[in-house]
A and B are shown apart, each in its own frame.
Chain A
């Protein structure tokens, strides 16, 4: 009987997780020029000439700058277990939050009880399938990054 209470509570928790992890994504991908945190873009920080620090992004030429999306950074993040776990965590939270929201929208159309159960089962299967596929991709990406490093 507590099904909706439980699902709603997890919907909120997933929303909070998404907020935090998307915040980290924003820091990593879009605010690197403002806040440079070594653990977010390891290759960028290692690349900066120590003698020339501090230095703003504008003063540097494109050739010497390593962007967050560059392979060096992607690989540097990818080898870390924490990043792999955060990708899987974000994937799970986003899938649950999105699919539960979609279920709510579909239920607004007032489907019959059997259709509600079918929709819930289909969305559950879809979510699990996408989660397994996405988690596998995250694990494989880490393996590839490690192999490349080696």
Chain B
């Protein structure tokens, strides 16, 4: 699309719980510069028209996951979306759907993180002492890493949750992000927490209501495929019910190399600071 226009319209859904009873739309014109992102445009709106406009953002480079919002009908990261790629001189911005609104473009993400936390998104091991005071790294091959690597790219922006039709209607369903992350840790060979997470996953918060619309994977700004994670998780849980699930022993601590010789030109590591 040619972006020869000098100005761009921002149509923004505003809501101030202290003043408004319901969200409403407001429109602003801001100067356009080539390469401008939706987030930069929001800053222009704040600078030129409405200093009270609220949203979340931090890194400006698609890493922190703060600036997820509904842009021209699709959940995206504002910092990661060029206005030129929207094929329109009007940018329609609203807070992420399926969440309560704190103010303007700020969604209430606390329920999502509560679901995330409930599914224990961390390595669970019985050897607590080794986990808390590691003597060495846990062994994991590159092939084993490949099994879950893409799911580690999730930045918890909530775009997948906003796009999920099941999460929109089922209050008990955990949603693609928490389920994808639960699968990420279930697939990690260093983890032994499948049985603990299963307590949640076999019931209503689990993957059972997902009917594979696939919208979560379509909108993910990091190219993660949560829909796939959910289907793989269903398979694991069905195998578990049928007694076919392979219970893996968490990876052992990798032994320290014994036959290597330190080269003379490698300087000593600095002393521990903590």
Q: Which residues on A are within 8 Å of B, measured CB to CB?
A: 1-9, 12, 104, 107-110
Query: Per a CB cutoff under 8 Å, which of A5, A108, A110 touches B241?
Result: A5
Q: Are A4 and B170 in contact (CB under 8 A)?
A: no
Whether A8 pairs with B234 at a CB distance below 8 angstroms is yes
Q: Give B190-210 as 1s and 0s: 1 = Cβ < 8 Å from A's Cβ atoms.
A: 000000000101111010110
Q: Which of B206, B211, B242 sits near A4, CB closer than 8 Å? A: B206
Chain B residues within an 8 Å CB radius of A6: 241
Least Cβ distance of B188 to chain A in Å? 21
CB distance from A8 to the nearest CB of B (A): 5
Check if A5 sits within 8 Å of B206, measured CB to CB. Answer: yes
A110 cross-chain contacts in B, Cβ below 8 A: 169-171
A108, B204: Cβ atoms closer than 8 Å:
no
Q: Tell me, rounded to whole Å, the shortest Cβ–Cβ distance linking A89 to chain B.
A: 19
Q: Shortest beta-carbon distance, A148 to chain B, in Å? A: 42
Q: What are 12 contact pairs spanning A and B, CB under 8 A?
A: A2-B203, A3-B202, A5-B201, A5-B240, A8-B238, A9-B238, A12-B238, A104-B208, A104-B211, A107-B209, A108-B209, A108-B211
A-B pairs with lowest CB-CB distance, top 3: A5-B202, A4-B208, A9-B241
Q: Please give the distance in Å from B209's CB to the nearest CB on chain A.
A: 7
Given contacts A8-B208, A8-B234, A108-B209, contact A2 B241 (CB under 8 A): yes
Chain A, interface SS category: helix
Residue of B nearest to A8 (CB): B208
Docked CA distance A107–B171 (Å): 11
Query: A108 touching B202 by the CB < 8 A rule?
Result: no
8 Å CB contact of A104 from B202, B203, B209, B234: B209
Q: Which residues of B contact A2 (CB under 8 A)?
A: 202-203, 241
Given the known A-B contacts A104-B209, A104-B211, are A5 and B171 also in contact in the complex, defined by CB atoms under 8 Å? Answer: no
Q: Which label, helix, strand, loop or mixed, suits the secondary structure of the B interface?
A: helix
Nearest CB on A from B187, distance (A): 18
Question: Is A4 a contact partner of B203 (Cβ separation < 8 A)?
Answer: yes
Q: Which of B61-105 contact A (CB under 8 A)?
A: none
B166 at the interface (CB under 8 A from A): yes
In angstroms, Cα B240 to Cα A9, docked, is 10
The minimal Cβ–Cβ distance linking A62 to chain B, given in whole angstroms, is 47
Does B237 lie at the interface of the complex (its beta carbon under 8 Å from any beta carbon of A)? yes
Max chain A CB contacts within 10 Å: which of B170, B199, B208, B209?
Answer: B208
Task: Identify the closest chain A residue to B234 (Cβ).
Answer: A8
Residue contact B238 to A108, C-beta cutoff 8 Å: no
Distance (whole angstroms) from the CB of A133 to the closest CB of chain B: 29
Cβ-closest chain B residue relative to A113: B172
CA–CA, A3 to B241, complex, Å?
11
In the complex, what's the smallest C-beta–C-beta distance from B28 to chain A, in angstroms? 36
Contact: A4 with B204, CB < 8 Å?
yes
Is there an interface contact between B242 and A108, defined as CB atoms closer than 8 Å?
A: no
Bound Cα distance from A3 to B242, whole angstroms: 14
- Beyond A107-B170, A108-B170, whether A5 also contacts B211 by CB under 8 A is no
Task: Name the residue on A nearest B242 (C-beta).
Answer: A9
Chain B residues with CB below 8 A from A3, complex form: 202-203
* Closest beta carbon of chain A to B181's beta carbon, Å: 19
A104-B211, A108-B209 given; A5·B237 CB < 8 A: yes
Are the CB atoms of A108 and B166 closer together than 8 Å? Answer: yes
**Beyond known contacts A1-B203, A9-B242, A110-B170: 16 more, CB 8 A cutoff:** A2-B202, A2-B241, A4-B202, A4-B204, A5-B202, A5-B206, A5-B241, A6-B241, A8-B234, A8-B238, A9-B237, A9-B241, A107-B170, A108-B169, A110-B169, A110-B171
